[in-house]
Amino acid sequence: MASASRLSFILTSSMASKQANRQAITLKGSTALVTEFFKYAVNTILFQREVYPSDDFHMVKKYGQTVLVTQDLALENYLERILNQVQKWLLTGSVTQLVLAIISKDTRTPLERWVFDIMLVETPAEGTEASRQPKPESEIQSEIRAILKQIISMVTYLPVIHEPTVFNILAYTSESADASKSQQVKMRSFSTDVHRIEAMVAYRYEE
């Protein structure tokens, strides 16, 4: 039974429908924020789950805290290609789920699945409170910090992986039910004016 970590992303727009150009800019900006979050979340997971040696990572300041990111050139280039495609998918609303799968290097058995669910939400009507109150970036960053810290804290009770691993990043157009037999814990969420990201971790449990 594969271990699975699930993170859900829901996007909402607070711009009035008649402000089409401004709304498009908001979508683009929010998509950039979500794509950037995915980059740092993936790096955090790869470091915390020791998919790559700790020496392959270096510290950077992001979201008002220290975040570890890869300095392995091949991995960095691979993630950049994936993230460029993810950004295109988010802009078109064509992806509903992104999955970081950690796999046994020797047996190819899935050991963990970190699942990011992505949902588009209706634009609030003109004149509503939501349409008049853009979400402060400081609040968005605070919510992102909370999720990244929670990913780190998961290591204290996720099962220890005792074998070499590799990873894949997968994209889906419909929800996956792969984690149905896993233990699950709801995590924190964050949102922009265009996207909302909800988090849940599901992990392999053996008697």
Instruction: Work out the angle at residue 135's Cα, subtended by the Cα atoms of residues 202 and 185, and round it to the nearest 5 degrees.
Output: 10
Distance of alpha carbon 186 from alpha carbon 170, whole angstroms = 22
pLDDT of 11 = 41
The pTM score is 0.77
For residue 13, what pLDDT is reported? 34
Q: Give the chain's end-to-end CA distance (angstroms, integer).
A: 12
List, for the chain, all residue ranges whose pLDDT scores fall below the cut of 50: 1, 3, 5-25, 175-181, 195, 202, 205, 207
pLDDT of residue 206: 53
Compute how many other C-beta atoms are within 10 angstroms of the C-beta atom of residue 195: 24
Q: Tell me the residue type at 201.
A: V
**For residues 28 and 195, is the Cβ–Cβ distance under 8 A?**
no
How would you class 15 by CB atoms within 10 Å of its CB: exposed for 0-12, middle for 13-18, buried for 19 or more? Answer: buried
SS3 4: coil
What is the per-residue pLDDT for 126?
58
Q: Render the burial of 109-132: b for 16+ CB within 10 Å, e for the rest.
A: ebbbbbbbbbbbeebbeeeeeebe
Cβ(93)–Cβ(122) under 8 Å?
no
- Phi, psi at 37, each rounded to 5°: -60, -45
SS3 12: coil
Q: What is the pLDDT of residue 132?
A: 54
Query: What gap in Å lies between CA 40 and CA 50, rounded to an integer?
Result: 15
| pLDDT, position 170 | 83
51-64 pLDDT, tens digit each: 999 999 999 999 99
Neighbours of 80 (CB within 10 A): 11
